[in-house]
Structure 1
Amino acid sequence: MTRETWAHHAMAAAGGFFGVYALLTRGGTFGSSETSNLIYLVVSGLDGTWGPALIRLGGTACYIAGIVFAVLLRRYGRRPQAQILSISVDFAACLLLAWIPAETDPILALYPMFFATAVQWVSFSQAAGYNCATIFSTNNLRQFTEGVTEFLCTREAEQLRKLKFYGGTLACFHLGVAWGWWCTGQWGIAGIYGCLPLLAAALPAVVVRERAKA
């Protein structure tokens, strides 16, 4: 496994952890994606519930700000540097999330996660020649299923490589889910600290690759 793939899979584990943590501690809210938040934002606007709508609009603004921040990092720096900063942002988000009280509005409480996962999505969007998100798994499941089907039909080595990569990403993501479920069950809101070792596992691969290129 290349250092790039190792880092990508480690961040997928962190992405799975973030996802299950948000779902279990913040009222079933998925903090790594904006789809449901945008849907509820429209619904809140149509219902005239402007308080929740504004909170959800703030969450969307955090997500957009994370994307802009990551794009600027990528544009004006080298990719490994952007990835190191992305891991640092995830670290900071974990520390903030651990101190937000349980009674806080779920969307408001996840503002740090909205920003951090958006940065991670842009910074770790591809590895080994494949486009692959580390913060959610729907498209990765599709790519894995396509790879398996194509390999069974053609026996091409490239399809085998593809299914191994996406299969590894899915496995790591859901191992992160399992670890996050256990940590949250043990420590509740403070269980987010369990994500720090996963982030730390990705850092050496990125740093070593950057030094090798230098």
Structure 2
Amino acid sequence: MEKETAVQMSERFRVGALLAMAGGLLDAYTYVMRGGVFANAQTGNIVLLGVRAIEGEWGGVLHYLLPILAFAVGVIAAELIKGKFRYAQPVHWRQISLGIELAVLLCVAFLPQALDALANVAVSFVCAVQVESFRKVHGNAFATTMCTGNLRSGTEQLYQFLRTGQRDHLRRAVQYGGIILSFIVGAALGAWCSGLLGLRTVAVACIPLFIALCLMRANKTAL
């Protein structure tokens, strides 16, 4: 079993769980408060884009196309940050990614309902930066802004445990389950806060992101 001291802080479960919580909250926020758009699950947006296209609702096509394009731009932005700041000191490139996420989300909190399209673009961009910057937990591939891959991998690890009895497979299955649960908690929190805070709910996602940033800053030797 891999020792925690050998694992980068950005790949530790506690950071992954915090990021997944933020991811779930953001998806619920854009769906509930910003016109039924999925900030993270671009598959859903692509399906809805196709439906609107066949219906001839070109305004609806643009409604879903913009966050899809923003997600692609976010992936490119994360790669550019990594390429430029990969060996930067004392600030790690993943900390820069989190800093950008925090700044963008705080701006989104003040966008009025009339600018839902811009809000969805910004949140989709943030989610792409996150999913591209944080891709592993304890060396295993994870996603902190969507659950399909995690569900598949977690179920596979559970099956391997039942087949072989090796506890390492069970540990990984539990980790995947924990990330999924954190995402669900974040989504539930986002839906609940939407009824209380309205458009400002997006700022709540900054809390787990800021905690994750502090954890990374506190452990500079294992980012």
TM-score by length of 1: 0.87
Q: Output the amino acid matched with 1:132.
A: F
Give ranges in structure 2 of 5+ residues lacking alignment: none
Aligned to 1:59: 67
Identify the residue that residue 110 of structure 2 maps to in structure 1. 99
TM-score by length of 2: 0.84
Q: Which amino acid aligns with 1:180?
A: G
CA distance in 2, matches of 1:50, 1:199: 36
Say whether residues 1:207 and 2:207 are aligned partners.
Answer: no
Q: For structure 1, which runs of at least 5 residues remain unmatched after alignment? A: none
Displacement, 1:76? 3.1
CA contact (8 A) 2:135 2:142 kept: yes
Q: Given the superposition, is the C-alpha separation of residues 55 and 173 from structure 1 closer, same or farther in structure 2, using an over 3 Å criterion? A: closer
Q: Percent identity?
A: 31
Q: Deviations over 1:47-73 (max 9, x none)?
A: 444333344333222111101011122
Specify the code of the residue in structure 2 equivalent to 1:189.
Answer: L
Counting only pairs closer than 5 Å after superposition, residues 1-214 of structure 1 correspond to structure 2 as 3=9, 4-5=11-12, 6-78=14-86, 81-105=92-116, 107-209=117-219, 211-212=220-221
One-letter identity of the residue aligned with 1:141? L
Name the Cα RMSD after superposition. Answer: 2.3
| Pairs aligned (count) | 212
**Alpha-carbon offset, residue 108 of structure 1:** 4.1
User: What displacement does 1:25 show?
Assistant: 1.0
Tell me how far apart the structure 1 counterparts of residues 109 and 143 of structure 2 sit (CA, whole Å): 25
Could you tell me which amino acid in structure 2 is paired with residue 204 of structure 1?
C
Q: Which SS does the other structure have where 2:143 is aligned?
A: coil
How far did residue 46 of structure 1 move?
Answer: 4.3
Deviates more, 1:123-132 or 1:199-208: 199-208
CA contact (8 A) 1:14 1:199 kept: yes
Q: Which region of structure 1 is more displaced relative to structure 2, 6-15 or 143-152?
A: 143-152
Give the drift of 1:28: 2.7
* Cα deviations by residue, 1:23-42 (Å, 9 ceiling, x for unpaired): 22123321112222223334
The CA deviation string for residues 150-194 of structure 1, in whole angstroms up to 9 with x for no partner, is 212211122022112212211222222232222212111112221
| Residues 37 and 64, structure 2, Cα contact 8 Å, conserved in 1 | no
